[in-house]
Amino acid sequence: MPELPEVETIRRGLEKSILHKNITDLDILKSRVLRNQGRWFKNFLKSKSISGINRRGKLLILEISGGSHLLLIHLKMTGQLIYVLGKKVMTGGHNLPNLGALPNKYSHVIFKFVDGSKLFFNDLRQFGYLRIIKAGDRSKIEQQYGIEPGHSDFKWSAFKKIFANRSTRLKSLLLNQQLISGLGNIYVDEVCFRAKVRPDRLASSLSQAEIRALYNACQYIIKKAIAKRGTTFSDYRDHDNKPGNFFQHLKVYGRSGQKCLRCKKANIEKIRLAGRGTHFCPHCQK
């Protein structure tokens, strides 16, 4: 699933690629990924352009020219955005296997721009969506998301309150987008490792020092992952045709059975937690 750093990388790439380009047409190949009526969606966007691209957590928020409406794009588990201009291809989102020809069976919506470029919304499992909303509803949408690492609302006072009287497992808490937005499976594992706390601990069992370590780790990991263009494993390329390379900096995720890079005294273990494969060092993390 694309997480905050991957979605932010996509946002920056699209900002360089599609801003202020008129949309000449749209192909809607599977209307189930739309949260609006298909014909209205297409007719509303034709001849308009994208005037700004923002993000909240993993949600992309595109400003539509005219200012009255916004286009929301959420990639969920397996969504992709693929921008094509001639031989230039920018892909971001889920790590699907070799893209092959476009459109393909995963292509559900295709935006066509005045310069001949195209933006494909692909989704293997079709949990992702596109939705046009009134601009006045923006705050209502953003209020559904919790504090976000790197955002002005990510303050120590707000972060520590999240842990008060919570009996849930730490990983479940960190994955809860209504409490902390943007973190997903990969980065929660990495945050817990950096903070030296096991992800299966009860949130209520953590000391103030451990919560502070998690707070600092969230900021460090997300900032570094954004700088490295996110974590990718196969065909992703950003606007500058560069792959996300935070993969090279992962300490626990995907390293089950391998020696811990920090203590070198234990192998990384993998368990099932919050419905996700979860990685940690049994020696380093308490």
Q: Check whether 96 has a pLDDT greater than 70.
A: no
- Which of the two residues, 125 and 98, has the higher pLDDT score? 125
228-239, pLDDT tens digit by residue?
A: 888 765 455 555
Q: Which residue has the tokens 């626990």?
A: 252
Instruction: Mention the CATH class of domain 4-140.
Output: alpha beta
CATH 3.20.190.10 range(s) for the chain read: 4-140
Q: Is 276 a catalytic residue?
A: yes
8-41, pLDDT tens digit by residue?
A: 999 999 999 999 999 999 999 999 999 999 999 9
12, 55, 58, 255: the active-site residue: 58
Does pTM surpass 0.85?
yes
Q: Is 105 a catalytic residue?
A: no
Instruction: Mention the CATH class of domain 156-280.
Output: mainly alpha
Q: Is 142 a catalytic residue?
A: no
In the predicted model, what is the mean pLDDT of the chain?
93
**Alpha-carbon dihedral of residues 166, 172, 176, 179, nearest 10 degrees?**
30
Q: Check whether 248 has a pLDDT greater than 90.
A: no
**What was the pLDDT predicted at 74?**
97
2, 5, 149, 199: the active-site residue: 2
CATH 1.10.8.50 range(s) for the chain read: 156-280
What is the token pair recorded at 61? Answer: 């928020």
Strand partners for 72: 61, 131
Q: Is 15 a catalytic residue?
A: no
